[in-house]
Amino acid sequence: MRAILLSLAVMIGLAGAVLAQGKEIEATITAQIEAFKADDFERAFTYASPNIRRLFQTPDNFGRMVRGGYPMVWRPAEVTYLDLAEAGGYLVQRVQIRDAQGALHFLEYQMIEVDGAWRINGVRLLKAPPATA
């Protein structure tokens, strides 16, 4: 019985840690989206991982990529956080974004922790889940 209670306590503790990470991850993504909405690409670039920063080199290059490749992230009408999961050694936050025309987009944000802060290491557009009747 003691082993069961100890296992339960450990699982609850881990769930609490994931929940805390989830809130911090959501805050990072939200802050970057708010920066995009304000066309503040310099601030948005600060939420990118070192790999992404090396890849795009400047906030202007990064901004051009987002405007051209991820317009729903640049100008979302609504953002809903879905599940947070571990995949390939990374934490992955799934997000639903409704664009200005009302279309739904599902994205996966790969997150890494850098110097105690969560950074976005990549975003992948997912296929929309099938509609349910």
- Answer with the residue of higher pLDDT: 56 or 17: 56
Instruction: Give CA–CA dist 111/106, Å, rounded.
Output: 16
**What's residue 7's pLDDT?**
57
Percent of the chain with pLDDT over 90: 74
Reported as a pLDDT band with limits 50, 70 and 90, residue 131 is low
Residue 6's pLDDT band, with cuts at 50, 70 and 90, is low
Q: Give the per-residue pLDDT at 38.
A: 97
List Cβ neighbours of 53 (8 Å cut-off, separation of 6 or more).
Answer: 45, 62
Rounded CA separation 100/77 (Å): 5
Residue at token pair 């990374």: 90
47-75 mean pLDDT: 96
User: Parallel, antiparallel, or unpaired: how do β-strands 117-126 and 104-114 relate?
Assistant: antiparallel
* Among 22, 20, 59, residue whose Cα is nearest residue 41: 59
Residue-wise pLDDT for 107-120, tens only, equals: 999 999 999 999 99
Q: Which two tokens mark 48?
A: 């990118």
Q: Which fold has domain 2-126?
A: Nuclear Transport Factor 2; Chain: A, (3.10.450)
Q: Domain spans of the chain?
A: 2-126
CA 127/CA 82 separation, integer angstroms = 15
- The torsion angle over the Cα atoms of residues 14, 79, 30 and 114, rounded to 10 degrees, is 50
Q: Is the pLDDT of residue 12 over 70?
A: no
Q: Round to whole Å and give the CA distance between 119 and 46.
A: 8
Which pTM value belongs to this model? 0.80
